[in-house]
Amino acid sequence: MNTTSVDSTAQVDLDILLKAYRLMMTAKTMADTYEENKNICSKYVHSTSRGHEAIQLATAFHLTETDYLSVYYRDESILLGLGLSPYELMLQLMAKKDDPFSGGRTYYGHPSLRRAGFPVIPHQSSATGMQAIPATGMAHALAYLESQGLQEAADGRMVVCSLGDGSVTEGEVAEAFQMAVLKSLPILYLVQDNDWGISATGAEMRAMDAYEYAAGFKGLERIRVDGADFIDSYTGLQEAFKLVREQRRPILVHAKCPLLGHHTSGVRREWYRGENLSAHALQDPLPRLGAQLLEQGVTADELISIAQEVKLEVQAQYEKALAAASPDPATFARHEFAPTPVVEETGTRTPAQAEKVTMVDAALHAVDELLKEYPEALFYGQDVGGELGGVFREAALLAKKYGDNRVFNTPIQEAYIVGSTAGMSAVGAKPIVEIQFADYIWPGINQLVEELSKSCYLSMGKFPVQALIRVPIGAYGGGGPYHSGSIESTLLNIRGIKVVYPSNAADMKGLMKAAFLDPNPVVMLEHKGLYWSKVPGTEDAKTVEPAADYLLPLGKAHVVQRADAQQVEQGNSVTVITYGMGVYWAKSASKQLNGSVEILDLRTLNPLDFEAVVASVQQHGKVLVLTEEPLMNSFAESLAGRISRTCFQHLDAPVFTLGAENLPAVPLNVELEKMMLPNADKVLASLRELLAY
């Protein structure tokens, strides 16, 4: 393919040009209407497509209902080109009840759409680069489903990911490009380059433009088009779409555009752009297309008539949107999560003649059974494929059994591993992914927060993200500062995700199956020190393996050890509320306390089985909340505060808490590690103090 420019002299059907002109005029009139009614239309921040209409409409005209689209916040004209009405877009502008994307929950130009005759447009964040990963995940899902014979490559389904030029400097965009060329994915990256960020110019932000940058990704085809010229944009994109549909590989289209409107309504262009506004106005795509239509025989009166018709249409739709109802405040909490099908414990937990297995093997067998039953399921992450099968052998031999398209290694790209699941889920694949160590999840947090956690809520339930994210966690003796951390409190501050933390093999298998079937993002924290039951005192983590049909619903705590009835009756009992390794510290400590200790294993941290917590606290009146995390500002302290408020009248002592020392990392030396972390002796001391209170 030509890598400098495409031939813009080719003729485009007159009907297409007239349609484009009408929609360009629509976009201009909408922007003018918003500017004329700033007291109403700037209540919520918005951005328009002025200057970008040509490339955006050309893109829209090449998309089909079998495609997938990831837009950015300026892509209003793409939406118009697909057939959405100004009225529908204005409903979002004014945060109205019938906003078809989010019901008034998110900004203008942030669509999420499943509608017959339209490309699928999953939810995404404000799209300043991070959308490239979920979009590439969509293309990855298409390639995967085609590799398994679940879809036909000949159908030509593809993904379009739209980006502003400033966003291409994001590291997550590089991760997306790398995976697109590595896996030869059917995706078109459209970069709209207006040479501005907010108040920063391209020269301030980058050493090269996106076209030049793309040259560094071997296998990423690239072309330039004049984004202010509809004919050049249309013909260039025609060639680009054809390549992706037929050859199933990625391309980047770099389109230079003027920026005629504000960056957003909250940042006035006249404050900082000066004469630059006049220079950009000379590139306005609307009069350019008008001149091309005049050259083809369309009369000036016809163009004037189109403008008059559009003005009346836009005004009528504006007034209709202005009068539309606002959302019912009572609906504000709907769609935090999509309903899960697993609400009861089912299947056989302890089959006859079944042997005991370690937690790591229970997890391995669970994934094996899921891959066998669900052809749309796949498993990927660092070092989980090939010969190794995970650094803990938690995916041993799965790649050989199911093939490298289903179980495979990724680059060191935690953001891609996490964020791609949003795109995978939108297309219909069922991803199971792994972050190698909890300490390495931080590069993926942006995707977890912005893309996965918000999708169901902001799309009004249209795009829950089905993703099972496995994360080995915790200290296991000399792992040091980068392989021993606990992260649950950080995760639990992210709304819209579920967090599971099993403490034994049977729970591991049942919860993993339920997490996979849950239509929401689930992070499964798997304690490395419990994987093989080799740490003294953790022998009970090894259990009889449940049958393949066993499901354990999320959000159900379990009493793993009950206090003696006599001790309870005498008021000499205490409950330990804990999870993970804390279960075994509490078990070891309780052996010296004569039946006085009940242990409640939470198993799931969100959703939390607070009813079970309350019942246990009310029965015993004394409670220790035990965690492996540094204690200050932790989930454990939060839970203790909630217990204090809810159960105050039933408490016979303050709620005790115990966790790691408040240090920034787990030290390498095992004696230093021992000083930092809780252990059975420290738990015993706390329990004795509490019982004596």
Provide the H-helix boundaries in 248-327: 276-281, 285-295, 300-323
> Which of these is catalytic: 123, 140, 262, 483?
483
| Contact between residue 661 and residue 634 where contact means Cβ atoms under 8 Å apart | no
DSSP 648: G
Buried residues in 295-322 as b, exposed as e (16+ CB within 10 A) = eeebeeeebeebbeebbebbeebbeebe
* 464 contact partners, CB below 8 Å, separation of at least 6: 337, 338, 425, 455, 456, 519, 520
Any residues with CB less than 8 A from the CB of 346 and at least 6 apart, and which? Answer: 549, 550, 551
Decide if 254 is catalytic: no
Distances (CA, A) of 201 to 209, 234, 263, 265, 284: 12, 27, 12, 18, 19
Number of Cβ within a 10 Å radius of residue 257: 30
Based on C-alpha coordinates, what's the Rg of the chain? 29
CA distance 473 to 439: 8
Taking the C-alpha atoms of residue 391 and residue 385, their distance in angstroms, rounded to an integer, is: 10
The verdict on whether omega for the bond into residue 258 sits within 30 degrees of 0, i.e. cis, is no
Element (H, E) at 55: helix 53-62
3-state secondary structure string across 500-539: ECCCCHHHHHHHHHHHHHCCCEEEEEEEHHHCCCCCCCCH
| Rounded (5°) CA angle 167-254-64 | 95
Measured distance CA(437)–CA(151) in Å, rounded: 34
Phi and psi angles of residue 487, each rounded to the nearest 5 degrees, phi first: -130, 10
Active site positions, annotated: 483
